[in-house]
Structure 1
């Protein structure tokens, strides 16, 4: 897991160099302009899909929905999907339910696109178009480089659909290296601080919300923490009542509209005595919190960077708590759901 975390700057830089490949897929999509988009995924890939949802709604101005694969695989639903862009995100490309949902979507008239780390996967064969995230083999069960590479691939694809040429992502590899190299002290302090914690909340707004979701999953699957993710807005609508001085809160906040929306959330949890760890390019602006900063970039690219120190926190906590982050108990790399 440590080695794969460290590979991410080069993986991300390599993806930007392949921008023309994403532009080809984007051109094919542009020739069949969709009325709206649907996204299908599981696990870490589901968090990447939620990131894509923000990108598509904000940058392309299209409505987006998240698919429940079981509606097709278990209940046999066959909706009219003409003029719909159906994007399936799966690092392995081998999940039976996602493959079947993609096949059904294609049969029902959707333009289907697979986004995976296995270009020869059954999912890629099922979809009309495919995107290879090119992260290389990932041996650890916990997704690290495949997650950030999926985010980057989705950004490059959606940016290309709007006519961009990855201008804002040119230095993402170097920024990722800075994020990893500059977070060591903060990560160490966070591990020391939370190694005996049993429960943690993760929260964010906007583009950073998928990072909060992925952070919760990483902490749960590597360190067996009772971790729960909330949108900052949802946290204020009730769950904040359970926050007190025994609560650890990991707040993801990067410069932009999302961090502005998080101010009220951070004030609320801090006033209730929560122990706050802030991660992101706006982390240093959060008072009364341990902050781990990352380099500032355009807001829509922030999730690619802010997840990096969180992965290292998950790794460190797992080791400090006597776990094996490469082989968490009872977990498999590919989930065979239907």
Structure 2
């Protein structure tokens, strides 16, 4: 047997998922102070508006930052449409605006181009990447290194949770806080979730023959639903549709029936309470409802995974929520006879323009 054929499918993705507690510890120990320093310098400029830019997984991290900035700081925020500047050559006035570009590699040409345009248009620009020498980092006035270490698997895992934590620390810095104190339990809790891998393996069996899936959440959990759907699609190729719970009720609920798998991410807090009417409607429709959230919600569903959220602020729970869903995508892919390390038609750096 050759060395190549003896390699276990998914070993790269598995190894990088397992690194997440160490990455979170490193970011808290080595990254918190530099992030706070950047935040203080940007806060002194008093930006009136924030624009966030990203693609794929990093776009979901940017959406998480949008919730943080709007809820914690009351800052108006938007997610950019990069084609307005890269394809249509629009010339926006971004005076007194903060533009945050989030990218694992920092190498996508459209991110670099839109950030360069934003800086020329008067914006304060911040790159959040895993590569301080990347073109995006060099194009931006400020940079935050998420310190995740080299990521070789095509499905991003450790860089996503690192981006979330880095963005949380940055927003806390903008409001004059530290952030590291509230986050100090995250590495230990992440280890506990990873140790429950067998629970996820058993849960994955119900999706082996799924033809489509629906994921839903509200508030801070909505970026988790979008990221989990992305992971399922890029690894197992299952069409996975993600909706805010409110949007799900505005039409898409009609496609849910008693054979439609639905995954609900229920944050322990206001987002989870806002999702409750959606969960009730899904149960009324007889949906195969699987919940990732507090024990009471899991017990009321068809199945689920209890998240260790006691005492964890709602805004930090997405860093824990996504880990079992990463494991789920991994296990579903293996159960369907595919290799999560080798998604078809994908490259680590996507050359969008």
Taking structure 1 as the reference length, the TM-score comes to 0.98
Alignment partner, residue 4 of structure 2: none
DSSP-derived class of the 2:148 partner:
coil
Match of 1:178 among 177, 192, 196: 192
Alignment partner, residue 262 of structure 1: 275
Query: For 1:71-110, what aligned pairs fall within 5 Å after superposition?
Result: 71-110=84-123
Matched, 1:38 2:61: no
Matched, 1:118 2:131: yes
Q: CA deviation at 1:190?
A: 1.4
| 1:7-31 CA distance string (max 9 Å, x none) | 0011011111121111110011012
Quote the Cα distance in structure 1 between the aligned partners of 2:164 and 2:346: 23
Alignment partner, residue 56 of structure 1: 69
Quote the Cα distance in structure 2 between the aligned partners of 1:137 and 1:276: 36
Quote the Cα distance in structure 2 between the aligned partners of 1:69 and 1:158: 23
Match of 1:217 among 230, 238, 250: 230
Q: CA deviation at 1:288?
A: 2.9
| More deviation, 94-103/273-282 | 273-282
Check conservation: 2:53, 2:62, Cα contact below 8 A. yes
Q: Indicate how the Cα distance of structure 1 residues 286 and 213 shifts in structure 2: closer, same or farther if over 3 A, else same.
A: farther
Q: Indicate how the Cα distance of structure 1 residues 15 and 186 shifts in structure 2: closer, same or farther if over 3 A, else same.
A: same
Quote the Cα distance in structure 2 between the aligned partners of 1:253 and 1:310: 13
Matched, 1:322 2:337: yes
Check conservation: 1:114, 1:123, Cα contact below 8 A. yes
Alignment partner, residue 15 of structure 1: 27
Quote the Cα distance in structure 2 between the aligned partners of 1:68 and 1:106: 16
Gaps of 5+ in 2: 1-12
Q: Indicate how the Cα distance of structure 1 residues 55 and 283 shifts in structure 2: closer, same or farther if over 3 A, else same.
A: farther
DSSP-derived class of the 2:307 partner:
coil
Alignment partner, residue 214 of structure 2: 201
| 1:127-169 CA distance string (max 9 Å, x none) | 0000001101111100000111111110011111111112210
DSSP-derived class of the 1:278 partner:
strand
Quote the Cα distance in structure 1 between the aligned partners of 2:24 and 2:158: 9
| 1:264-312 CA distance string (max 9 Å, x none) | 1111111111111111345645513212012111000010000000000
Check conservation: 1:175, 1:305, Cα contact below 8 A. yes
Alignment partner, residue 299 of structure 1: 314
Match of 1:288 among 295, 301, 321: 301
Q: Indicate how the Cα distance of structure 1 residues 298 and 70 shifts in structure 2: closer, same or farther if over 3 A, else same.
A: same
Quote the Cα distance in structure 2 between the aligned partners of 1:178 and 1:90: 28
Quote the Cα distance in structure 2 between the aligned partners of 1:274 and 1:180: 28
DSSP-derived class of the 2:53 partner:
strand
Taking structure 2 as the reference length, the TM-score comes to 0.94
Check conservation: 1:254, 1:280, Cα contact below 8 A. yes
Check conservation: 2:292, 2:298, Cα contact below 8 A. no
Matched, 1:332 2:347: yes
Quote the Cα distance in structure 1 between the aligned partners of 2:267 and 2:203: 18
Stretches (4+) displaced over 2 A: 183-186, 280-286
Check conservation: 1:151, 1:304, Cα contact below 8 A. yes
Q: Indicate how the Cα distance of structure 1 residues 40 and 149 shifts in structure 2: closer, same or farther if over 3 A, else same.
A: same
Gaps of 5+ in 1: none
| 1:303-332 CA distance string (max 9 Å, x none) | 000000000010001111011101111111
Q: Indicate how the Cα distance of structure 1 residues 312 and 126 shifts in structure 2: closer, same or farther if over 3 A, else same.
A: same
Q: Indicate how the Cα distance of structure 1 residues 87 and 193 shifts in structure 2: closer, same or farther if over 3 A, else same.
A: same
